[in-house]
Structure 1
Amino acid sequence: MNQLSAPAQYIDTVADYFDSLTPQATDDELFAAGYLRGHFDLAVGSLEVAAEPFDKTQLCNWVGQSLAKAIAGGELNADDQRHVQQLWQQVQML
């Protein structure tokens, strides 16, 4: 797999994963998925605009930093943080 197809495949896998949650997820899980998907999509867009090759590790690092900044800024209460962090752990293993 070349450097460009690997992140594209991971991005597609993550999008499919988020989509698969919709039918059976709880309200809390749907919130976490939507919130995390926003951070993930922003990271993808930012890395693509930079027009430099990137990989899954860079993408995950960007999302992790974005989430940490949002949490430090008080965007999520403790329960929402827990749901988002649990989902983020799952997404990173895809």
Structure 2
Amino acid sequence: MTVQINQQEQAQAFITRIEAQLDDMVSEADADTLFTSGYLRGHIMLAAGYLEMEEKLNIDQLIENTNQSLQQAIEAGELDDKDSVLVNRLWTDLQQLKA
């Protein structure tokens, strides 16, 4: 149980770092950055919410579920090629915050 709580706390800290990074980006953002950060934030928070409800929130699962959510959205045609590249690039950068 302690391991699960520690993993949840680490995941929450990771989410907090992501949110801070996204918030910092918005202050001087162009339209593409505003869209990309907001779109990605939605996918991350949705994945986190489901994992919290299932009591399975940890960093690796959050990354995996967000990846799956983004892939489904791309396959469903929610993003054009340019936006897909921007979202994936930002998500790759944000994953570095887990360390």
Q: TM-score under structure 2 normalisation?
A: 0.88
Counterparts of 1:4 and 1:68, CA distance in 2: 24
- Native 8 Å contact 1:39 1:63 kept in 2: yes
Q: Cα RMSD over matched residues? A: 1.3
Q: TM-score under structure 1 normalisation?
A: 0.92
Counterparts of 2:85 and 2:7, CA distance in 1: 33
Is 1:24 equivalent to 2:33 in the alignment?
no
- Native 8 Å contact 2:36 2:86 kept in 1: yes
Counterparts of 1:90 and 1:4, CA distance in 2: 21
Counterparts of 1:24 and 1:62, CA distance in 2: 29
Q: CA deviation at 1:54?
A: 2.6
1:6 to 10, 19, 29: 10
Q: Which has the higher contact order (CA 8 A, sep 6+)?
A: 1
Match of 1:70 in 2: 73
Give the fraction of aligned pairs with identical amino acids, expressed as a percent.
Answer: 39
Unaligned runs of 5+ in 1: none
